[in-house]
Amino acid sequence: MVSGDVVLKVEGLEKSYSNRIVLNGVSFEIDKGQIKVICGSSGSGKSTLLRCLNLLTQPDKGRVWLEGEEITKKAHDVNKVRQKIGFVFQEFNLFNHLTALRNVCIALEVVKKMGKDEAKTLGMKELERVNLADEAHKYPAELSGGQKQRVAIARALAMNPVIMFYDEPTSALDPHLIGEVLDVMKKLAQEKLTSIVVTHEIGFARSVADEILFMGNGRILERGPPNQIIENPVHEDVRQFFRRINELYRRDER
């Protein structure tokens, strides 16, 4: 059973590919309005975890509950699950032949069976929410990487998800475009939109996360409030990771 304000509960999640263990007994839960940031080196299982939670990848073992319903049951409707989860990928995954507005509206019309006028009104509202109302008529080729990612966020928001997943949403962006995406994500965090964010943007994590989960070798090695995990981690792998990150930041500031 899942109680109270718990939006998502994960219990003993496991996933392997051939002989390689990618997830090894991952368990945690997130309450309504919480922001959890997942950090870790490449190959630690972060992206696979999000894909398993959204059922884009089927876990080998373990159970996941969304709003009290176990979604890892064989008979569960995967499409209904995904309608409740907003997923923002590293790559923008926009339709190049559609304008920004149409990219936001298309799922509303096809999946939610919304009329075109209603979908357009909602689509414009969500583009305005990510500061892109003036770019609604433009095609992806006419937008910067940061603008494309904000369209992708607006598209996810338009489906009115109960939780948002972000899989390294700034990793494909030029450095000078990262801030505009993080600013939108900070604004959504202030709105208490329940979110799980995989990112290496430590300043962002420090400012918005209720908790940081640090993954290594498919496990959660350490978890806790941002300042504790970033400034005073217990696990040696976690200490080394944040030491490297801090060195990179200092180098960039010179």
Instruction: Report the pLDDT value the prediction gives residue 248, as an integer from 0 to 100.
Output: 65
Sequence-distant (≥ 6) Cβ neighbours of residue 253 within 8 angstroms? none
Number of domains composing the chain:
2
Q: Are residues 179 and 68 in the same domain?
A: yes
Say if residue 117 is in the same domain as residue 241. Answer: no
CATH number, domain containing residue 54: 3.40.50.300
Of 125, 143, 160, which residue sits at a domain end? 160
| Residue that terminates a domain, selected from 144, 160, 176 | 160
* 8-state DSSP, 217: T
41 to 74, 94, 195, 197, 240: CA distances (angstroms): 32, 27, 20, 15, 10
Considering the domain architecture, whether residues 72 and 105 belong to the same structural domain is answered as no
Mean per-residue pLDDT, 144-154: 97
Mark whether 76 and 113 lie in a shared domain. no
pLDDT for the residue 123:
98
In which region does residue 188 sit, left (phi positive, over 0), alpha (psi from -120 to 50) or beta (all else)?
Answer: alpha
Q: Please check whether residues 140 and 79 belong to one and the same domain.
A: no
Reported pTM = 0.93
The whole-number pLDDT of residue 249 equals 58
Whether 253 has a pLDDT exceeding 60, the answer reads no
What confidence tens digit (pLDDT) does each residue in 76-118 have? 788 888 899 999 998 899 999 999 999 999 999 999 999 999 9
Do residues 26 and 39 touch, judged by C-beta distance below 8 A? no
Question: Do 206 and 154 have their domain in common?
Answer: no
Name which of 25, 3, 72, 33 is nearest 218 in CA terms. 25
Q: Are 175 and 167 in contact (CB under 8 A)?
A: no
Query: Which of residues 246 and 127 earns the better pLDDT score?
Result: 127
Residues 149 and 252 in one domain: no
Domain boundary among 160, 193, 211: 160
| Pair (252, 170) in one structural domain | yes
Query: Which domain covers residue 32, as residue numbers?
Result: 1-84+166-254
105 lies in the same domain as 59? no
Residues 79, 183, single domain; the answer is yes
- One domain for residues 238 and 139: no
Same domain, 69 and 171: yes
The whole-number pLDDT of residue 103 equals 97
